[in-house]
Amino acid sequence: MSDILVYVLHYQGELNKNSLGAVSEGARLAGELGGEAHAIVVGDGDDLTEDLAASLGSYGAAKVFRARAPEGLAQPVVDAMAKVMTDNGHTYALFGGGLLGFEVGAGLAARLGAGVTMEVTEVDVQDGKLVASRPILQDSKISKSRYKERGVIIGRLNAFEAKESGGGAAAVEDVEVELSPQATKATMVERGEQRGEDVDIEGADVLVAGGRGLGKAEGFGLCEELATAMGGAVAATRAVVDAGWYPYSTQIGQTGKTVAPKLYLAAGISGAIQHKVGMQSSENIVAINKDSNAPIFEFSDLGIVGDLNKILPKLTEAVKAKKGG
Amino acid sequence: MAAVPSQFPPPVDSPDEFVKRELDPEDERIEVGVAIVGGGPAGLACANRLLQLIAEDGALAEQLGEVPVAVVEKGKACGAHNLSGAVMNPSALRELFPDMDESEWPTQLEVEKESVYWMLSSKLALPLWPVPPPFRNHGNVVVSVAELSRWLAEKAEEAGAYILTETSAQQLLVEDGVVRGVRSGDKGRGKEGEPLGNFEPGSDLVARATVLAEGTWGHLTGAAIREFDLGAGREPQVWALGVKEVWEVEKPLDRVIHTLGWPLRYGAKWQEFGGSWIYPMADNRVSIGFVAGLDHTDAEMSVHDVLQQFKGHKRVRRILEGGKRVAWGAKAIPEGGYWAMPKLSAPGVVLAGDSGGMVNVPRLKGLHYAIHAGILAADAIYRALKNGSTDLRAYEEMVEESAIGTDLYETRNMKQPFGRGFFVGGAITNAMVVTKGRFPGGRWKNHRDADAPVFRGGKSRKYPKPDGRYTFDKLSSVFITGNATRDDAPNHIRVQKDVPRELAEAWVWMCPAGVYELPEDAPQEGPVDLIVNYTNCVQCGAITAKGGRLTPPEGGDGPLYQIT
Amino acid sequence: MKICVLVKEVPDAAVEKRIDTSTGRMDRSGEKNLNPFDTHAIEAAMQIKEGGAVPVEEVVAVTMGPESAVRALHKAVSLGADRSVHLSDEALAGSDVAATGYALAKTLERESPDLVLLGQQSDDGECYTIGAVVAEHLGMPSLTQVIQIDVEEGKLRCERQAEYGYDTVAVELPAVISVGDAINEPRYPSLKAIMGAKKKPLDGLAAADAGIDASKVGADGSMVDCGDFTDPPQKEPGQIIEDEDTAETVEKIVAWLEERKLLS
C-alpha cells in the first residue's frame, strides 16, 4: 500500500495543466497500488486559496497539502515535499513536465536518497510497485526504471493527460515548513516576464511548419494565419531559414530545435531526415505536399497530397468556423 | 548539347589565396619541429617513424623543441575523413612497427578466397577464372582505413606527437622560395565570411620541414603544385569517385569480390571506367562500394545511385539479404598513375600518399604505399634535419626506387587505354599486365577530367527509387555520416555561377551528398545559378575533378567516418 | 572568486547511440567529445573572469569518468580553465544521476568553490538536473536553464525561462548554476591553447580521496535500476488523402483533427 505525492504548480490563481495531468495520473496509479494520491501546492501569495487547492479533488487528489513558502523556486518546494513525505510516508513523488518539476524532483531525490527518473512517458504498476518508462537515445529505445525504495518520477512535457475524476473538493491541510539554508539564498526578483519577440516554439501545443514548398517567403503568411486560428506557433525548416524566409529561432531539425507538440502540421516540407529528427516525436503529424513521393508521407499520421496554396487558406477558414461557431 | 566543365573554372586564385608569404611575428607563431598536414595513413606513418628516429637521437630531440612532430587534421578525429575499400598489403605495417606482433594490428581479417565477376546484367554474373593477376590478394588483409588511422594516431600520440584535430591547414607558408610551414584555418566566420562573435583566427605553424599528406584532394598540395610547378613534364592528374557502404549481414561473406561491367556502359563515348568491390569484415559486416572515373560524359552519372542500382543485382542482394546498412561515405581516388605523380618535393616540403598520386590503379592499392611513403618521408626529413638543410630531393629518389616507384611504373599505362572503351581498353591492358608493362610501352596521355564534355545520356532512368531498406537517397546517407556542420558556416565550395544546364545537372548528379541543387525556376536551356547546400558536403573531392574547387571548411566540419 | 566547471565526456553527436547488450549500459566505444552544453558553461566562467566585475583567481574543470575523460578536461583547459580534477574509480561505474551528483558534490567540497557552473544537460544521459542534485548535497542554492548571469560581490542575478515566461532571480554565493545553450556563443580554442593544455595541472582522484561512501555510488549504490530496454511501439502507418476537391479535403482534415481533440 503506497501513497503518491504529486507536486502541483500554480501561477496567478491557475493550476498548471501538466501538474493536473500528473494528479490524474497519480490518482489512477494510487488506485492500483491501493493507496492514495495527495497533492502539494506551495506559495506565498493570496491567490493560493483553499478553494483553489481543494479543486484538485476533482482530478483525483484525496488530500492537498498547502505550504507557505516562496513561489516559483525549486528548493523551498524540496523542503516542503521532503517534510510531507517524511511525516506521512509517501513512497513516490510524481511531477508533470516542466522546468520546476525537474529541479524539484532532482533535489528531492538527493534529499531523500531516492531513485529518480525524468522524461517519463508512461508509468505502470508491477508487483505492487511503480515502474516508469522513458525514451532514451534520441527516442530510439525505451528504458524502464524500478526503484529500490522510494521513487521520484518526473514526466515529460504533455505526457500525462488531465482527467476530471468526478471527485469532490479535497481536504486541505496546511503545513509549516522550515526552509533549509540553501532555500533562503535564492530570491525571485521578477517572475514570468513576457518577451514579445520570443515565441515559445518548444512549448507550443500546435506548430505549423513551412518549408521550401511554400515557394516564397510570403508563403509564411498562410502558415501564420493557420497557426493563429489554431492557437499555435509557426516553425520553419533549415532550407527556408537559410534562404532568409523565416528566423533561425523557429528552425526545427538536426541543427535547430527539437519539438514534440500535440500537432505538427508540415506544409511544403519534404521530410528529409535532417528535419525529421527534430519533430518525429510529435503526437500527431499532418503533412501537406504536392509530391506524393515526399519522404514525409512515410511517417505522417495524415498526409495530404495537394497544393498547399489551395488547402491552407480553406483549412484556416474551416478551423476558424469550428472554433468560433 | 554538351558542355565542357573546364570552360567554367571556379573563382579561385591559388597563389594569392592559398600561399602566405610573410610570417606572423615570432611571439604569435607556433614553432614545431615537423608539421604534417593530414592525419591519415601517410601522415601518421610519417609521424610514428619520425618519433622513432627522434627517440634514438637526443641531440635532435632537443633541437626540435617542445613539439617535435605536429599533425594537423581537419576532421573531428583522425580517420573521420578517411574512406577506402580496403584490402591492404600488410608489408607496410611490418615495416613501420617491426617488433609488433601481427595480432595487434587493426585489421579486420585476412583475405582467403577471392572472386572476380563480370556483371553482364542485373541477373547474370560471369566469374572470371583464373582470377586476373591484379585482383589476386592472397596474403593481404581487409582493413577499415578510418579505424587504421585512429589506431595510428593513438600510437603516434603515445610516442609524443601533437595531433591537432578539428584544425584545417588553409595556407602554405612560403618565404624566399622555401616552405616554412602552414597556416591553420580561421574559426567562427559567418556565411559571408564575416567574423562572428567567437571568431578565432588561425595561427602560423612554423616548422623546419612540412609533409603534405592530405589525401586525394590535397588543398595545399594543389597550392604547392602551382607554386613550385611540380606538375611540369607530367600528365595531369585524374580521379575516380568511390561511394561505399558498410552493412551488417546475416551470413558472413567468405571471399573478397571485385566486379566489372554492369551497371557501367562499355562504349568509349561514356568513359565509364570502374567497378565494384565487396569485402568481408569482422563481426559479420561487409564493405561494399562502387568506383567510377570522373571523366564520365553522361551528365546523369551518379556513382551513389549506381551503387544503389548495383545492390539490386541478384548475387549482391543475396549477400545483403536481411542485413542493415550501418555506414556510408564517399571519397575521390587519384587514378593518374605513374605519369601523373607530381614532383614529390620542393624546398622544405614533401608530398606523401594519395596527395602524391601514389595509387596503383589496376591493383586498387594505395594504403600500403601511403604508409611506405610516410616512412620514407620521415627518413628523408631526419637526414635533412641532421644536416640543417631544407633540401628534400633525396625523398624523390627514395620513392622512385621503392616498391612505390617500381609498382607504379609497371602499371603506368593501364588505365588510359580504357579511354577507348571497355573491350579495346581491356585487351590492351591485359597485354600490359602479361608483359609487366612493357608492351605496348610508351607514355599514354591522361586527359583532364574537366575537359570531358558532358551531355544528357539518360543513365538516370535505371536508377532505383530508394526503398529505405536496401537502397537509400543521398540526404539520409549524408545523415548517417554524422555530418552536422553549423548552418551559418561560410561556403567552402567554389563553383562558377551561371553555368550551362548540362553542366549544372552533371554536378547535381555527380555529388554523392546532394550539395548541388537546381533552383525550381532554372531555365531548361541557358545559364543556371545552382543552389549550393555546402553544409551537406562530405569533402569527397569530386567537384575539383569536374570543374569546381573544394577548399577546406572550418576544422571539425564534415563527416565522422568510423568504420569506412 | 573560485569557479569550478563540471564537464562530461559524452559520445560524439555523430555516433549512433546504442545499448551494449552485454553490459546493459550505453555503448561508450566510438568517438567521444566534450558535452556541447559544458562548453557554454566554460565560456560563461571565462566571461565572468574576463568581465572584471569580480576578481576570479582560478577556473577549475572537474569531471567524473573513465580514463578517456581526460580529453574532456584537456578541451576545457584549452578553452581557458586553469587546471583540472579527474575523479575516476571502478566503484563509480554504473552510477545513476543521483549517485553521480553525490560523487561530484564530494569532489567539489574539497575545492570549496564560490560558484559551480555546468551545462544543463548531457547528450547521453538526457537528464536535466544533475546541478540540482549537486547543490542539494553541497547545501547551495541552485538554478537551472540559466541564460544570463550578472555577477556582483557575493551574489548573482540570473535569468532563465521557466513555465510562465522569464524569471529573474537573485542568488547568493556560493551557488550551483546550470546554463542553457542560449547563454553564450562558446569561443574556439586557439592552437596555442590546445597545444598547451596537456601541461596544465591535472589531479587524479579515486573515490576514497574525495571521501565518497562507496555504498552510495556505482550500480549497487544507485537507488534506481534502469535496465530492461525495449523498442518504442511501432507507429501505425498514416492515412493519405489525394486532394481533388479541396473543400472536401479540408472537411476531412477538420474531422480528423476534431477526432483527436486538436481543435479545442
Residues B157 and B227 in one domain: yes
Of B174-188, B197-211, B516-530, the range with the lowest mean pLDDT is B516-530
Binned at pLDDT 50, 70 and 90, residue B439 comes out as confident
The CATH number of the domain where B208 resides is what?
3.50.50.60
What pLDDT is attached to residue C152?
Answer: 87
Pairing of strands A206-210, A263-267: parallel
Query: pLDDT per residue over B356-396, tens digit each?
Result: 999 998 888 899 999 999 999 999 999 999 999 999 999 99
Residues B161 and B297 in one domain: no
Contacts of A272 in chain B (CB under 8 A): 475-476
Contacts of C253 in chain A (CB under 8 A): 286, 302, 304, 311, 315, 318
Q: Is residue A143 less than 8 Å (CB to CB) from chain B?
A: no
Residue C27 lies in a domain: yes
How much of chain C, in percent, has pLDDT values that exceed 70? 94
What pLDDT is attached to residue C24?
Answer: 64
The closest CB to that of C188, out of B70, B80, B188, belongs to B188
Residue C40 lies in a domain: yes
Q: Is residue A274 less than 8 Å (CB to CB) from chain B?
A: yes
Say whether pLDDT at B418 is over 60: yes
The CATH number of the domain where C54 resides is what?
3.40.50.620
Mutation target to probe the A interface, by most A beta carbons within 10 A, among C10, C224, C240 is C224
- Total residue length of chain B: 564
As beta bridge partners, residue A126 has A129
**What CA–CA distance (Å, rounded) separates C163 from A192?**
8
Residues B289 and B405 in one domain: no
- For chains A and B, count residue pairs whose Cβ atoms are closer than 8 Å: 25
Q: Is residue C182 less than 8 Å (CB to CB) from chain B?
A: no
Give the residue numbers spanning the domain of C177.
Answer: 2-221
What pLDDT is attached to residue B223?
Answer: 95
Residues B506 and B374 in one domain: no
| Other chains touching A, judged by 3 or more CB pairs under 8 Å | B, C
Selection from B167, B176, B331 nearest residue B239 by Cα:
B331
Search chain A and give the residue with CA nearest B465.
A293
The structure's pTM equals 0.89
The closest CB to that of B560, out of C14, C190, C192, belongs to C14
Residue B191 lies in a domain: no
Domain count within chain C = 1
What pLDDT is attached to residue C22?
Answer: 65
* 70-99 of C, contacting A, C-beta below 8 A: 96-98
Query: pLDDT per residue over B482-517, tens digit each?
Result: 887 888 899 999 999 999 999 999 999 999 999 999
Residue B371 lies in a domain: yes
Residue C226 lies in a domain: no
- Residue B394, number of CB atoms within 10 A of its CB: 17
SS (H, E, C) B193-241: CCEEEEEECCCEEECCEEEECCCCCCHHHHHHHHHHCCCCCCCCCCEEE
Residue B194 lies in a domain: no
**What CA–CA distance (Å, rounded) separates C34 from B479?**
21
- Say yes or no for a CB contact (<8 Å) between A311 and C246: yes
Distance from CA of C186 to the nearest CA of B (A): 7
**What CA–CA distance (Å, rounded) separates A26 from A3?**
9
The closest CB to that of A274, out of B465, B468, B479, belongs to B479
Residue B464 lies in a domain: yes
Q: Is residue A292 less than 8 Å (CB to CB) from chain B?
A: no
Residue B17 lies in a domain: no
ipTM for the complex? 0.87
What pLDDT is attached to residue B1?
Answer: 78
- Residue A63, number of CB atoms within 10 A of its CB: 20
Selection from B244, B391, B250 nearest residue B303 by Cα:
B244
Q: Which three cell numbers stand for residue B73?
A: 587534421
Residue C73 lies in a domain: yes
Distinct helix (H) and strand (E) counts, chain C: 7, 16
Distance from CA of A28 to the nearest CA of C (A): 22
Residues B467 and B405 in one domain: no
Of B44 and C259, the structure prediction assigns the larger pLDDT to B44
| Other chains touching C, judged by 3 or more CB pairs under 8 Å | A, B
Domain count within chain B = 3
Give the residue numbers spanning the domain of B82.
Answer: 28-86+147-184+200-232+342-410
As a whole number of Å, the CA-based R_g of chain C is 22
CB B464 within 8 A of CB B471: yes
Residues B157 and B60 in one domain: yes
Contacts of C187 in chain B (CB under 8 A): 188, 198, 200
Binned at pLDDT 50, 70 and 90, residue C25 comes out as low
Residues B160 and B280 in one domain: no
Average pLDDT, chain C: 89
Burial degree of A6 (CB within 10 A; 0-12, 13-18, 19+): buried
CB C248 within 8 A of CB A312: no
Contacts of C137 in chain A (CB under 8 A): 110
What pLDDT is attached to residue C263?
Answer: 84
Of A191-195, A317-321, B339-343, B401-405, the range with the lowest mean pLDDT is A191-195
Q: Is residue A242 less than 8 Å (CB to CB) from chain B?
A: yes
Q: Is residue B486 less than 8 Å (CB to CB) from chain A?
A: yes
Of B34 and B425, the structure prediction assigns the larger pLDDT to B34
Say whether pLDDT at C164 is over 70: yes
Pairing of strands B255-261, B274-281: antiparallel
Q: Is residue C33 less than 8 Å (CB to CB) from chain B?
A: yes
Search chain B and give the residue with CA nearest A254.
B484
Residue C242 lies in a domain: no
With residue A244 as reference, give the H or E element that holds it: none
What pLDDT is attached to residue C88?
Answer: 95
Residue B79 lies in a domain: yes
Of A72 and B352, the structure prediction assigns the larger pLDDT to B352
**What CA–CA distance (Å, rounded) separates B468 from B477?**
10
**What CA–CA distance (Å, rounded) separates B532 from B81?**
21
What pLDDT is attached to residue C232?
Answer: 81
Q: Print burial letters for C113-143: b (CB count within 10 Å at least 16), e (below 16).
A: bbbbbbbbbbbbbbbbbbbbbbbbbbebbbb
Residues B467 and B389 in one domain: no
What pLDDT is attached to residue C254?
Answer: 94
The CATH number of the domain where B521 resides is what?
3.30.9.90
Binned at pLDDT 50, 70 and 90, residue B257 comes out as very high
User: In sequence order, which residues have a C-beta less than 8 Å from that of residue B473 and are 6 or more positions away?
Assistant: A295, B466, B514
What pLDDT is attached to residue A46?
Answer: 85
Residues B117 and B245 in one domain: yes
Say whether pLDDT at C227 is over 80: no
What pLDDT is attached to residue C238?
Answer: 86
Average pLDDT, chain B: 92
Question: For chain A, which residues score pLDDT lower than 50?
Answer: none
Binned at pLDDT 50, 70 and 90, residue C27 comes out as low
Search chain C and give the residue with CA nearest A202.
C163
Residues B439 and B459 in one domain: no
According to DSSP, residue A97 is labeled S
Query: pLDDT per residue over B68-114, tens digit each?
Result: 999 999 999 999 999 998 999 999 999 999 999 988 999 999 998 99
DSSP H helices, B358-421, are 367-386, 394-401, 403-410
Of B191 and A79, the structure prediction assigns the larger pLDDT to A79
Residues B464 and B519 in one domain: yes
According to DSSP, residue A156 is labeled P
Phi, psi angles (nearest 5°) of residue C57: -75, -40
Q: Which amino acid is at C140?
A: M
Q: Which three cell numbers stand for residue A33?
A: 497500488
CB B371 within 8 A of CB B45: yes
Residue C17 lies in a domain: yes
Residues B42 and B81 in one domain: yes
CB B121 within 8 A of CB B262: yes
With residue A19 as reference, give the H or E element that holds it: helix A17-33
Query: pLDDT per residue over C65-109, tens digit each?
Result: 998 899 899 999 999 999 999 999 999 988 888 899 999 999 999
| Structural domains of chain A ordered from first start | 4-184 (3.40.50.620), 206-324 (3.40.50.1220)
Q: Average pLDDT in the C20-40 region?
A: 77
What pLDDT is attached to residue C222?
Answer: 83
**What CA–CA distance (Å, rounded) separates C146 from C148?**
6
Residue C258 lies in a domain: no
